[in-house]
Structure 1
Amino acid sequence: MKDIEFYFDFLSPYSYLAWNWVRQNIDKYNFSFYPVPMASLIRSYETKGPAEIEPKRNYLFKHCLRYAELKNIPFYPPHQLPFNSLYALRMALMENSGDDQFKVIDTIFMNGWGKGRDIGDEKFLAQILLQEGIDGNKLLDNVGTKEIRIALKFNLSRALGKNIFGVPTFMIGDELFWGNDSIDHLKLYLAEMDPLDKHKYEIFLEKEFTIF
């Protein structure tokens, strides 16, 4: 069974769309899940998030709606948008949720982008997790602890150390696949049918790029 690392933020609609592929293949691959704060990741590269550029943001939601419709994925804007995903990210950490991590992530994603509910509200998060048989209050109590705060920072450092620049990102070894629209490439790579021409890729890397 091949190992896949999945880096995501609940704030990212594309992370939600990619999650739908993850949940369909959860028994097929050995997934590890790494919640990361998207804003901190983007700021590390001194760039703007797509939602900070109005024309890009407007296009982004059209693109997501089209993609979701074609893939039969329920897609609604969360109750508050943008929202603070910090509580959700910390609750979803392996160091906090343990064996329930997949269920925690799935519950939060499906309630937020799948049903349009307020996943920025920490009390609501605890409530929906309790409904799934998970001690949401305990997870919520843990989010302010030093251990959990450090764990989220570690995930961010781990992502940056692997040259991850956005979410969602899938990692297989050192190979990176960014965005839910890279899933087809990911599947080919997993099937050992990667269409990448490595020689041409090396030629691109040798070019000196100038910012005009």
Structure 2
Amino acid sequence: MSFVKEFAKGLWKELPPFRLVLGLCPTLAVTKSAADGLGMGAAVIFVLVLSNAIISMVRKIIPKKVRIACFIVIAASLVVAVELLMQAYAYPLYQSLGIFVPLIVVNCIILGRAEAFASKNPVHLSIADGLGMGIGFTMSLTFLGALREVFGVGKLFGTTIFGPDFKPFTFMVEAPGAFVCLGLILGAMNYLAIWQSKRKGLPEPSLAASCGGCRACSIGESKQIMQEG
């Protein structure tokens, strides 16, 4: 494994919200604007990179029975630091993100990377993994926020981009609009993955391959076969 490879996988191959389908709560809740998506992403990068690094450094001394609790304590300490920094230097953003800043503690991306990667790999690779996943998550939130902001209010990062005759599609900045936009993006990503596979002469990607390799589908199929047998 190389630093570049572990960094790059989070930018497309394992893009958290659209490939692994992780971290959907903040993805849907804080993307009414591109600025909010960018701010939440930056906070997640800070927590994810440092938590991965710290967990990787202490992974050999953490008892297996309490590893999840230890991961949560580490993440919570970093989230408190993020809250204090936001309150000091970006208070309007802190108010806009609201409860979703402290909820970074239980974000499935943070705990998932800690358990699946940082607890099993050296520090430099864990940093690369956290940085790539964090930047990919930030790009995803910013893109979704920009899409909703442009069509929902006719602005981008608070700047008006359409003329006075533009009629905003306010549905886009409501809760249902977030689900619709996410569904359209997921559909486009799946279509693109199938198109790329056909272009390269490879078999179409299966459902299990697009879920981050969690193996839940394959395990369920195996149990069903055993029961039928």
TM-score bin (small chain): under 0.3
Structure 2 length-normalised TM: 0.24
- Hey, which of these two has a bigger chunk of helix by percent? 2
- Hey, which of these two has a bigger chunk of strand by percent? 1
Structure 1 length-normalised TM: 0.25
Larger RCO (alpha carbons 8 Å, 6+ apart) = 2
